[in-house]
A and B are shown apart, each in its own frame.
Chain A
Amino acid sequence: MSLRDEFIQGRGCPVIDSHGHLGPFRGIYLPEAAVESMIAGMDRAGVESIILSPHNALEGDTREGNREMLDAVRRYPGRIYGYCTLNPQFPNDLDEEMAACLGQPGVVGIKIHPSMHGVPVGDPRYRPVWERANRDRLMVLSHTWGESGGCGHKDLRPIAEQYPDVRLLLGHSCYGAYPGAIALAAEFPNVYLELTAAAHAYGLIEWMCRDAGSHKVLFGTDYPWFDHAVYIGFVVFAHVDEADMRNILYDNARRLLDEQVARTQS
Protein backbone atom coordinates (compact mmCIF):
# COMPACT_ATOMS: atom_id res chain seq x y z
CA MET A 1 0.00 0.00 0.00
CA SER A 2 1.31 3.48 -0.83
CA LEU A 3 2.17 5.95 1.90
CA ARG A 4 -0.60 8.16 0.56
CA ASP A 5 -3.20 5.42 0.97
CA GLU A 6 -1.87 4.61 4.43
CA PHE A 7 -2.47 8.21 5.48
CA ILE A 8 -5.93 8.17 3.93
CA GLN A 9 -6.71 5.16 6.09
CA GLY A 10 -5.39 6.87 9.23
CA ARG A 11 -1.95 5.33 9.51
CA GLY A 12 1.04 6.59 7.53
CA CYS A 13 4.47 7.47 8.89
CA PRO A 14 5.39 9.62 11.91
CA VAL A 15 5.23 13.36 11.38
CA ILE A 16 7.10 16.27 12.98
CA ASP A 17 5.77 19.80 12.57
CA SER A 18 8.71 22.21 12.60
CA HIS A 19 6.65 25.41 12.60
CA GLY A 20 3.97 25.72 15.26
CA HIS A 21 2.46 28.37 17.51
CA LEU A 22 0.15 28.34 20.51
CA GLY A 23 -2.69 30.40 21.91
CA PRO A 24 -4.94 33.11 20.51
CA PHE A 25 -3.79 35.68 17.97
CA ARG A 26 -5.34 39.07 17.22
CA GLY A 27 -8.84 37.77 17.99
CA ILE A 28 -8.88 35.53 14.91
CA TYR A 29 -11.09 32.47 15.23
CA LEU A 30 -8.75 29.47 15.60
CA PRO A 31 -10.73 26.45 16.90
CA GLU A 32 -7.68 24.56 18.19
CA ALA A 33 -5.52 27.31 19.68
CA ALA A 34 -5.33 25.97 23.27
CA VAL A 35 -2.49 23.60 24.07
CA GLU A 36 -4.85 20.77 25.03
CA SER A 37 -6.72 21.16 21.73
CA MET A 38 -3.42 21.13 19.89
CA ILE A 39 -2.36 17.86 21.46
CA ALA A 40 -5.76 16.35 20.62
CA GLY A 41 -5.44 17.58 17.04
CA MET A 42 -1.93 16.16 16.77
CA ASP A 43 -3.19 12.81 18.06
CA ARG A 44 -5.97 12.84 15.47
CA ALA A 45 -3.56 13.59 12.62
CA GLY A 46 -0.76 11.30 13.77
CA VAL A 47 1.70 14.10 14.45
CA GLU A 48 4.38 12.93 16.85
CA SER A 49 5.93 16.28 17.78
CA ILE A 50 5.72 19.97 17.11
CA ILE A 51 8.28 22.74 17.59
CA LEU A 52 6.47 25.94 18.51
CA SER A 53 6.65 29.54 19.57
CA PRO A 54 3.56 30.95 21.35
CA HIS A 55 1.72 33.80 19.64
CA ASN A 56 2.19 35.81 22.80
CA ALA A 57 5.95 35.67 22.26
CA LEU A 58 5.56 37.09 18.76
CA GLU A 59 2.81 39.66 19.11
CA GLY A 60 2.71 40.35 22.84
CA ASP A 61 5.31 40.36 25.60
CA THR A 62 8.06 38.10 24.34
CA ARG A 63 9.15 37.24 27.86
CA GLU A 64 5.66 36.04 28.83
CA GLY A 65 5.39 34.10 25.60
CA ASN A 66 8.65 32.34 26.22
CA ARG A 67 7.41 31.29 29.67
CA GLU A 68 4.31 29.83 27.98
CA MET A 69 6.65 27.94 25.67
CA LEU A 70 8.68 26.55 28.57
CA ASP A 71 5.48 25.50 30.36
CA ALA A 72 4.12 23.71 27.28
CA VAL A 73 7.46 21.94 26.72
CA ARG A 74 7.53 20.77 30.35
CA ARG A 75 3.90 19.58 30.25
CA TYR A 76 4.26 17.61 27.04
CA PRO A 77 7.86 16.38 26.79
CA GLY A 78 8.61 14.79 23.46
CA ARG A 79 5.36 16.06 21.97
CA ILE A 80 6.13 19.76 22.22
CA TYR A 81 9.54 21.28 21.62
CA GLY A 82 10.15 25.00 21.85
CA TYR A 83 11.76 27.86 20.02
CA CYS A 84 13.04 30.73 22.15
CA THR A 85 11.49 33.79 20.54
CA LEU A 86 13.73 36.85 20.37
CA ASN A 87 12.52 40.36 19.62
CA PRO A 88 15.36 42.81 18.89
CA GLN A 89 12.98 45.74 19.46
CA PHE A 90 14.00 45.10 23.07
CA PRO A 91 17.75 44.47 22.75
CA ASN A 92 18.29 44.43 26.49
CA ASP A 93 16.06 41.35 26.76
CA LEU A 94 18.00 39.21 24.32
CA ASP A 95 20.74 37.91 26.60
CA GLU A 96 18.28 37.31 29.43
CA GLU A 97 15.84 35.39 27.24
CA MET A 98 18.57 33.30 25.66
CA ALA A 99 19.92 32.50 29.13
CA ALA A 100 16.46 31.56 30.40
CA CYS A 101 15.45 29.36 27.49
CA LEU A 102 18.37 28.00 25.48
CA GLY A 103 19.78 24.90 27.07
CA GLN A 104 16.50 24.03 28.78
CA PRO A 105 15.30 20.50 27.96
CA GLY A 106 13.13 20.57 24.88
CA VAL A 107 14.15 24.04 23.74
CA VAL A 108 15.74 23.35 20.41
CA GLY A 109 16.23 26.68 18.68
CA ILE A 110 15.32 30.29 18.14
CA LYS A 111 12.32 31.89 16.44
CA ILE A 112 12.51 35.35 14.88
CA HIS A 113 9.86 37.33 13.05
CA PRO A 114 11.65 40.22 11.34
CA SER A 115 8.56 41.67 9.67
CA MET A 116 6.29 41.53 12.73
CA HIS A 117 9.03 42.98 14.90
CA GLY A 118 10.03 45.54 12.27
CA VAL A 119 13.73 44.68 12.33
CA PRO A 120 15.44 43.34 9.17
CA VAL A 121 17.49 40.17 9.63
CA GLY A 122 20.68 42.04 8.77
CA ASP A 123 20.10 44.77 11.37
CA PRO A 124 22.92 44.97 13.97
CA ARG A 125 20.36 44.35 16.71
CA TYR A 126 20.11 40.77 15.47
CA ARG A 127 23.89 40.22 15.66
CA PRO A 128 23.92 38.65 19.16
CA VAL A 129 21.22 36.23 18.01
CA TRP A 130 23.09 35.09 14.93
CA GLU A 131 26.38 34.86 16.79
CA ARG A 132 24.90 32.71 19.55
CA ALA A 133 23.07 30.49 17.07
CA ASN A 134 26.22 30.08 14.99
CA ARG A 135 28.35 29.28 18.02
CA ASP A 136 25.93 26.64 19.31
CA ARG A 137 24.82 25.37 15.89
CA LEU A 138 21.20 26.20 16.73
CA MET A 139 18.14 25.96 14.57
CA VAL A 140 16.75 29.41 13.77
CA LEU A 141 13.25 29.54 12.29
CA SER A 142 12.84 32.91 10.63
CA HIS A 143 9.61 34.15 9.19
CA THR A 144 10.52 34.78 5.53
CA TRP A 145 8.40 36.40 2.85
CA GLY A 146 9.11 37.48 -0.71
CA GLU A 147 12.40 38.66 -2.18
CA SER A 148 13.43 41.39 0.24
CA GLY A 149 11.99 43.86 2.70
CA GLY A 150 13.78 42.56 5.77
CA CYS A 151 13.15 38.83 5.60
CA GLY A 152 13.24 37.86 1.93
CA HIS A 153 15.79 35.57 0.35
CA LYS A 154 17.98 38.54 -0.62
CA ASP A 155 18.12 39.55 3.05
CA LEU A 156 18.84 35.99 4.21
CA ARG A 157 21.66 35.27 1.76
CA PRO A 158 24.31 37.28 3.67
CA ILE A 159 23.16 35.60 6.90
CA ALA A 160 23.59 32.15 5.39
CA GLU A 161 27.04 33.14 4.14
CA GLN A 162 28.21 34.75 7.37
CA TYR A 163 26.85 32.18 9.82
CA PRO A 164 27.41 28.77 8.21
CA ASP A 165 26.73 26.80 11.39
CA VAL A 166 23.25 28.20 11.96
CA ARG A 167 20.56 25.72 10.93
CA LEU A 168 18.54 28.34 9.09
CA LEU A 169 14.91 27.42 8.49
CA LEU A 170 13.16 29.63 5.95
CA GLY A 171 9.65 29.79 7.41
CA HIS A 172 7.15 29.92 4.52
CA SER A 173 10.06 29.46 2.08
CA CYS A 174 10.04 33.19 1.24
CA TYR A 175 6.37 32.95 0.26
CA GLY A 176 5.81 33.93 -3.36
CA ALA A 177 9.52 34.27 -4.17
CA TYR A 178 10.20 30.56 -4.40
CA PRO A 179 12.97 30.56 -7.02
CA GLY A 180 15.19 32.60 -4.70
CA ALA A 181 14.38 30.52 -1.63
CA ILE A 182 14.94 27.25 -3.43
CA ALA A 183 18.25 28.50 -4.83
CA LEU A 184 19.35 29.50 -1.34
CA ALA A 185 18.54 26.07 0.08
CA ALA A 186 20.29 24.39 -2.84
CA GLU A 187 23.42 26.48 -2.45
CA PHE A 188 23.89 26.52 1.32
CA PRO A 189 24.08 23.27 3.31
CA ASN A 190 22.73 25.08 6.39
CA VAL A 191 19.53 26.44 4.78
CA TYR A 192 16.20 24.60 4.82
CA LEU A 193 12.85 25.28 3.17
CA GLU A 194 9.76 25.13 5.39
CA LEU A 195 6.30 24.53 3.97
CA THR A 196 3.87 26.64 6.00
CA ALA A 197 1.50 28.66 3.78
CA ALA A 198 3.47 27.68 0.68
CA ALA A 199 2.55 24.01 0.44
CA HIS A 200 -0.86 24.56 -1.14
CA ALA A 201 0.70 25.66 -4.43
CA TYR A 202 0.31 22.91 -7.00
CA GLY A 203 3.74 21.61 -8.05
CA LEU A 204 5.79 23.52 -5.49
CA ILE A 205 6.90 20.55 -3.37
CA GLU A 206 8.03 18.77 -6.53
CA TRP A 207 10.06 21.84 -7.53
CA MET A 208 11.69 22.05 -4.09
CA CYS A 209 12.65 18.38 -4.16
CA ARG A 210 13.98 18.60 -7.69
CA ASP A 211 16.15 21.70 -7.22
CA ALA A 212 17.08 21.73 -3.51
CA GLY A 213 16.54 18.08 -2.62
CA SER A 214 13.96 16.60 -0.29
CA HIS A 215 16.57 16.50 2.48
CA LYS A 216 16.26 20.30 2.59
CA VAL A 217 12.46 20.51 2.97
CA LEU A 218 10.70 20.55 6.35
CA PHE A 219 7.05 19.93 7.15
CA GLY A 220 5.43 22.86 8.94
CA THR A 221 1.90 24.22 9.36
CA ASP A 222 1.77 27.25 11.64
CA TYR A 223 -0.49 24.98 13.72
CA PRO A 224 -3.05 25.91 15.10
CA TRP A 225 -3.45 27.93 11.91
CA PHE A 226 -3.35 25.18 9.31
CA ASP A 227 -4.74 21.69 9.68
CA HIS A 228 -2.21 18.87 9.74
CA ALA A 229 -4.39 16.64 7.55
CA VAL A 230 -4.48 19.22 4.77
CA TYR A 231 -0.73 19.69 4.83
CA ILE A 232 0.01 15.98 5.02
CA GLY A 233 -2.19 15.67 1.95
CA PHE A 234 -0.19 18.32 0.11
CA VAL A 235 2.96 16.28 0.75
CA VAL A 236 1.77 12.75 0.09
CA PHE A 237 -0.07 13.73 -3.09
CA ALA A 238 2.99 15.50 -4.49
CA HIS A 239 4.62 13.84 -7.48
CA VAL A 240 7.70 12.75 -5.54
CA ASP A 241 8.76 9.35 -4.32
CA GLU A 242 8.00 8.04 -0.87
CA ALA A 243 11.55 8.49 0.40
CA ASP A 244 11.16 12.21 -0.35
CA MET A 245 7.82 12.29 1.48
CA ARG A 246 9.33 10.64 4.56
CA ASN A 247 12.25 13.08 4.49
CA ILE A 248 9.83 16.00 4.50
CA LEU A 249 7.34 14.66 7.00
CA TYR A 250 9.77 13.29 9.56
CA ASP A 251 13.37 12.36 8.84
CA ASN A 252 14.81 15.83 8.26
CA ALA A 253 13.23 17.33 11.36
CA ARG A 254 14.14 14.26 13.41
CA ARG A 255 17.78 14.66 12.41
CA LEU A 256 17.80 18.34 13.37
CA LEU A 257 15.91 17.71 16.60
CA ASP A 258 18.20 14.88 17.66
CA GLU A 259 21.20 17.10 17.11
CA GLN A 260 19.71 19.82 19.28
CA VAL A 261 18.49 17.46 22.00
CA ALA A 262 21.93 15.84 22.18
CA ARG A 263 23.48 19.27 22.53
CA THR A 264 21.23 20.28 25.44
CA GLN A 265 21.79 16.95 27.18
CA SER A 266 25.57 17.32 26.90
Chain B
Amino acid sequence: MTIFDCDAAYGRGTQALPAEIETAADLARELEYFHIDKALVCHRDAALRDFELGNQRLPELDAYPSLHPVLTMAPTCCREMCSAEEFIQRMRAQNIRAVRAFPAQHCYLLDRLSCGDLLDLFVACSIPLLVPLNQFPGQWQGVYQLMRDFPDLTLVVTESGCWGQDRYFRPLMKRYERFHITTSRLETAGQWQDLVQAVGPEHLLFGSALPFNNPGGYVMMLARCAIDDEAKESIAHGNLERLLREVTW
Protein backbone atom coordinates (compact mmCIF):
# COMPACT_ATOMS: atom_id res chain seq x y z
CA MET B 1 0.00 0.00 0.00
CA THR B 2 1.32 3.45 -0.89
CA ILE B 3 1.57 5.76 2.10
CA PHE B 4 1.66 9.53 1.57
CA ASP B 5 2.43 11.41 4.80
CA CYS B 6 0.99 14.95 4.81
CA ASP B 7 2.84 16.06 7.95
CA ALA B 8 6.61 15.63 8.19
CA ALA B 9 9.41 18.05 9.00
CA TYR B 10 13.15 18.17 9.41
CA GLY B 11 15.67 20.44 11.10
CA ARG B 12 16.69 20.97 14.70
CA GLY B 13 15.13 23.15 17.36
CA THR B 14 16.56 24.38 20.64
CA GLN B 15 14.85 21.63 22.65
CA ALA B 16 16.46 18.26 22.00
CA LEU B 17 14.05 15.54 20.91
CA PRO B 18 14.64 11.89 21.83
CA ALA B 19 15.91 11.54 18.25
CA GLU B 20 16.54 14.20 15.64
CA ILE B 21 15.92 14.38 11.91
CA GLU B 22 18.32 17.11 10.94
CA THR B 23 18.53 16.94 7.16
CA ALA B 24 16.39 16.15 4.17
CA ALA B 25 18.55 13.06 3.63
CA ASP B 26 17.79 11.91 7.19
CA LEU B 27 14.09 12.40 6.57
CA ALA B 28 14.07 10.54 3.26
CA ARG B 29 15.90 7.62 4.87
CA GLU B 30 13.58 7.45 7.86
CA LEU B 31 10.43 7.62 5.77
CA GLU B 32 11.68 4.63 3.81
CA TYR B 33 12.38 2.77 7.06
CA PHE B 34 8.77 3.38 8.15
CA HIS B 35 7.36 2.15 4.80
CA ILE B 36 6.22 5.69 3.91
CA ASP B 37 6.55 6.36 0.19
CA LYS B 38 6.32 10.16 0.08
CA ALA B 39 5.59 13.14 2.28
CA LEU B 40 4.63 16.79 2.37
CA VAL B 41 7.53 18.46 4.15
CA CYS B 42 8.52 21.73 5.75
CA HIS B 43 11.67 22.78 7.57
CA ARG B 44 11.20 23.34 11.30
CA ASP B 45 12.74 26.79 10.93
CA ALA B 46 9.45 27.83 9.33
CA ALA B 47 7.70 27.37 12.67
CA LEU B 48 10.49 28.01 15.14
CA ARG B 49 12.43 30.89 13.58
CA ASP B 50 10.76 32.59 10.66
CA PHE B 51 8.32 31.45 8.01
CA GLU B 52 10.45 32.77 5.18
CA LEU B 53 13.69 31.29 6.53
CA GLY B 54 11.95 27.94 6.54
CA ASN B 55 10.55 28.45 3.06
CA GLN B 56 14.02 29.31 1.75
CA ARG B 57 15.27 25.91 2.92
CA LEU B 58 12.80 24.00 0.75
CA PRO B 59 15.07 23.69 -2.35
CA GLU B 60 17.06 21.25 -0.17
CA LEU B 61 14.25 18.77 -0.93
CA ASP B 62 14.86 18.86 -4.68
CA ALA B 63 17.28 15.95 -4.56
CA TYR B 64 14.69 13.66 -2.93
CA PRO B 65 11.73 12.68 -5.11
CA SER B 66 9.80 11.38 -2.09
CA LEU B 67 9.83 14.78 -0.36
CA HIS B 68 7.32 17.38 -1.52
CA PRO B 69 7.73 20.94 -0.22
CA VAL B 70 5.05 22.90 1.62
CA LEU B 71 5.21 26.69 1.93
CA THR B 72 4.49 28.37 5.26
CA MET B 73 2.30 31.47 5.24
CA ALA B 74 2.05 34.60 7.35
CA PRO B 75 -0.42 37.49 7.15
CA THR B 76 0.38 40.17 4.61
CA CYS B 77 -0.29 43.11 6.97
CA CYS B 78 3.29 43.67 8.12
CA ARG B 79 4.65 43.61 4.58
CA GLU B 80 7.34 41.07 5.45
CA MET B 81 5.54 38.74 3.09
CA CYS B 82 4.59 39.18 -0.52
CA SER B 83 1.00 39.86 -1.54
CA ALA B 84 -1.53 37.05 -1.51
CA GLU B 85 -1.53 36.92 -5.30
CA GLU B 86 2.28 36.75 -5.42
CA PHE B 87 2.22 33.96 -2.82
CA ILE B 88 -0.05 31.90 -5.07
CA GLN B 89 2.16 32.68 -8.08
CA ARG B 90 5.17 31.48 -6.09
CA MET B 91 3.39 28.25 -5.27
CA ARG B 92 2.54 27.70 -8.92
CA ALA B 93 6.10 28.50 -10.03
CA GLN B 94 7.53 25.98 -7.56
CA ASN B 95 4.75 23.41 -8.05
CA ILE B 96 3.86 23.61 -4.36
CA ARG B 97 0.32 22.48 -3.60
CA ALA B 98 -0.15 22.92 0.13
CA VAL B 99 0.46 25.57 2.78
CA ARG B 100 1.23 25.40 6.48
CA ALA B 101 0.33 27.99 9.12
CA PHE B 102 1.46 28.43 12.72
CA PRO B 103 -0.74 31.33 13.88
CA ALA B 104 -0.19 31.01 17.63
CA GLN B 105 3.58 30.63 17.28
CA HIS B 106 3.73 33.54 14.82
CA CYS B 107 1.33 35.81 16.72
CA TYR B 108 -1.64 36.31 14.42
CA LEU B 109 -5.23 35.20 14.07
CA LEU B 110 -6.17 32.88 11.24
CA ASP B 111 -9.38 34.71 10.42
CA ARG B 112 -10.97 36.88 7.75
CA LEU B 113 -9.71 40.16 9.20
CA SER B 114 -6.08 39.07 9.42
CA CYS B 115 -5.76 36.57 6.58
CA GLY B 116 -8.85 36.96 4.39
CA ASP B 117 -6.83 37.87 1.30
CA LEU B 118 -4.87 34.61 1.46
CA LEU B 119 -7.72 32.40 2.67
CA ASP B 120 -10.05 33.58 -0.10
CA LEU B 121 -7.43 32.60 -2.66
CA PHE B 122 -6.84 29.24 -0.95
CA VAL B 123 -10.56 28.59 -1.29
CA ALA B 124 -10.65 29.75 -4.90
CA CYS B 125 -7.65 27.56 -5.80
CA SER B 126 -8.60 24.61 -3.54
CA ILE B 127 -5.24 24.83 -1.79
CA PRO B 128 -5.00 22.67 1.35
CA LEU B 129 -4.01 24.51 4.53
CA LEU B 130 -2.37 22.45 7.29
CA VAL B 131 -2.52 23.80 10.84
CA PRO B 132 -1.70 22.03 14.14
CA LEU B 133 -4.62 22.09 16.55
CA ASN B 134 -2.59 23.84 19.24
CA GLN B 135 -2.05 26.79 16.88
CA PHE B 136 -5.71 27.84 17.14
CA PRO B 137 -6.69 30.09 20.05
CA GLY B 138 -9.29 28.14 22.00
CA GLN B 139 -8.23 25.10 19.96
CA TRP B 140 -11.46 23.62 18.54
CA GLN B 141 -13.41 26.85 19.03
CA GLY B 142 -10.89 28.48 16.71
CA VAL B 143 -11.30 25.71 14.15
CA TYR B 144 -15.10 26.03 14.29
CA GLN B 145 -14.86 29.79 13.75
CA LEU B 146 -12.50 29.41 10.80
CA MET B 147 -14.77 26.85 9.12
CA ARG B 148 -17.82 29.07 9.72
CA ASP B 149 -16.01 31.96 8.02
CA PHE B 150 -14.57 29.82 5.19
CA PRO B 151 -16.86 26.79 4.76
CA ASP B 152 -15.18 25.77 1.50
CA LEU B 153 -11.63 26.00 2.84
CA THR B 154 -9.59 22.79 2.50
CA LEU B 155 -8.42 22.64 6.10
CA VAL B 156 -6.22 19.89 7.54
CA VAL B 157 -5.95 20.00 11.33
CA THR B 158 -2.82 18.14 12.38
CA GLU B 159 -1.99 16.61 15.78
CA SER B 160 -5.60 16.76 16.88
CA GLY B 161 -5.15 15.06 20.24
CA CYS B 162 -4.75 11.49 21.41
CA TRP B 163 -8.15 10.88 23.03
CA GLY B 164 -11.50 12.46 23.69
CA GLN B 165 -11.58 14.60 20.54
CA ASP B 166 -14.30 12.84 18.52
CA ARG B 167 -17.10 15.03 19.83
CA TYR B 168 -15.16 18.06 18.59
CA PHE B 169 -14.18 16.93 15.11
CA ARG B 170 -17.07 14.69 14.01
CA PRO B 171 -19.59 17.57 13.71
CA LEU B 172 -17.07 19.41 11.53
CA MET B 173 -16.69 16.35 9.32
CA LYS B 174 -20.44 16.04 8.91
CA ARG B 175 -20.91 19.73 8.15
CA TYR B 176 -17.87 20.64 6.04
CA GLU B 177 -16.84 18.48 3.11
CA ARG B 178 -13.31 19.88 3.00
CA PHE B 179 -12.45 19.60 6.69
CA HIS B 180 -9.82 16.97 7.54
CA ILE B 181 -7.71 15.69 10.39
CA THR B 182 -4.55 13.59 10.34
CA THR B 183 -3.70 10.27 11.91
CA SER B 184 -0.99 11.63 14.21
CA ARG B 185 -2.02 11.09 17.84
CA LEU B 186 -5.30 9.50 16.64
CA GLU B 187 -4.64 6.64 19.03
CA THR B 188 -7.85 5.87 20.95
CA ALA B 189 -8.73 2.18 20.98
CA GLY B 190 -11.19 1.34 18.21
CA GLN B 191 -11.31 4.96 17.06
CA TRP B 192 -10.36 4.55 13.41
CA GLN B 193 -12.97 1.92 12.61
CA ASP B 194 -15.60 3.72 14.68
CA LEU B 195 -14.88 6.98 12.88
CA VAL B 196 -14.92 5.42 9.43
CA GLN B 197 -18.25 3.70 10.17
CA ALA B 198 -19.74 6.98 11.38
CA VAL B 199 -18.52 9.51 8.80
CA GLY B 200 -16.49 7.59 6.22
CA PRO B 201 -12.76 7.72 5.50
CA GLU B 202 -12.76 10.90 3.39
CA HIS B 203 -11.87 13.28 6.21
CA LEU B 204 -8.83 11.40 7.48
CA LEU B 205 -5.31 11.83 6.04
CA PHE B 206 -2.21 9.88 6.96
CA GLY B 207 0.00 12.32 8.84
CA SER B 208 2.73 11.28 11.28
CA ALA B 209 4.12 14.57 12.63
CA LEU B 210 7.59 13.09 12.29
CA PRO B 211 10.03 13.95 14.00
CA PHE B 212 7.76 14.42 17.03
CA ASN B 213 5.95 11.10 16.63
CA ASN B 214 7.05 7.59 15.78
CA PRO B 215 5.14 6.96 12.51
CA GLY B 216 5.27 3.20 13.04
CA GLY B 217 2.16 3.26 15.21
CA TYR B 218 0.06 4.80 12.47
CA VAL B 219 1.54 2.52 9.81
CA MET B 220 0.64 -0.48 11.96
CA MET B 221 -2.84 0.91 12.54
CA LEU B 222 -3.36 1.17 8.78
CA ALA B 223 -2.41 -2.48 8.45
CA ARG B 224 -4.40 -3.82 11.38
CA CYS B 225 -7.48 -1.69 11.95
CA ALA B 226 -10.84 -3.24 11.12
CA ILE B 227 -11.79 -1.16 8.08
CA ASP B 228 -11.96 -2.29 4.47
CA ASP B 229 -9.05 -1.99 2.06
CA GLU B 230 -10.68 0.78 0.06
CA ALA B 231 -10.98 2.95 3.17
CA LYS B 232 -7.38 2.17 4.10
CA GLU B 233 -6.19 3.24 0.65
CA SER B 234 -8.12 6.49 0.99
CA ILE B 235 -6.51 7.27 4.33
CA ALA B 236 -3.04 6.10 3.33
CA HIS B 237 -2.77 8.18 0.17
CA GLY B 238 -5.97 8.56 -1.84
CA ASN B 239 -7.56 11.44 0.02
CA LEU B 240 -4.38 13.53 0.00
CA GLU B 241 -3.63 12.80 -3.65
CA ARG B 242 -7.17 13.87 -4.56
CA LEU B 243 -6.80 17.13 -2.63
CA LEU B 244 -3.50 17.92 -4.32
CA ARG B 245 -4.94 17.11 -7.77
CA GLU B 246 -7.78 19.55 -7.14
CA VAL B 247 -5.40 22.49 -6.66
CA THR B 248 -5.92 25.05 -9.45
CA TRP B 249 -3.52 27.88 -8.85
Footprint of B on A, CB under 8 Å? Answer: 4, 7-10, 28-32, 37, 41, 44-45, 178, 197, 199-207, 221, 223-239
Contact = CB atoms under 8 A, between A and B. Distances in A.
A119 B189 CA distance: 30
B217 A8 contact: no
Contacts, number: 131
A165 to B, nearest CB: 31
Nearest to B224: A229
27 contacts: A7-B223, A9-B223, A29-B166, A32-B190, A37-B190, A41-B189, A44-B224, A199-B214, A199-B217, A200-B214, A202-B21, A202-B215, A203-B17, A203-B20, A204-B18, A206-B19, A225-B188, A227-B189, A227-B191, A227-B192, A229-B224, A233-B219, A233-B220, A237-B34, A237-B214, A238-B214, A238-B216
A233 B167 CA distance: 26
User: 7 nearest interchain CB pairs?
Assistant: A237-B216, A203-B19, A233-B220, A203-B18, A31-B190, A230-B217, A233-B217
Q: Tell which of B17, B190, B210 has the most Cβ of chain A within 10 Å.
A: B190
B103 interface: no
A46 to B, nearest CB: 9
B221 interface: yes
A32 B210 CA distance: 28
Contacts of B164: 28-29
Q: Tell which of B194, B214, B221 has the most Cβ of chain A within 10 Å.
A: B214
A12 B211 CA distance: 26
Contacts of A221: 189
Given A230-B217, A233-B216, A238-B216, 8 more contacts: A29-B166, A44-B226, A45-B224, A199-B214, A200-B214, A206-B19, A237-B34, A237-B215
A41 B189 CA distance: 8
Nearest to B215: A237
A37 B162 CA distance: 20
Contacts of A231: 187, 217
Interface string B186-226: 01111110100000000000000011111111111101111
B64 interface: no
Nearest to A202: B214
B213 to A, nearest CB: 5
Contacts of B18: 178, 201-204, 206-207
B232 interface: no
A199 B162 CA distance: 12
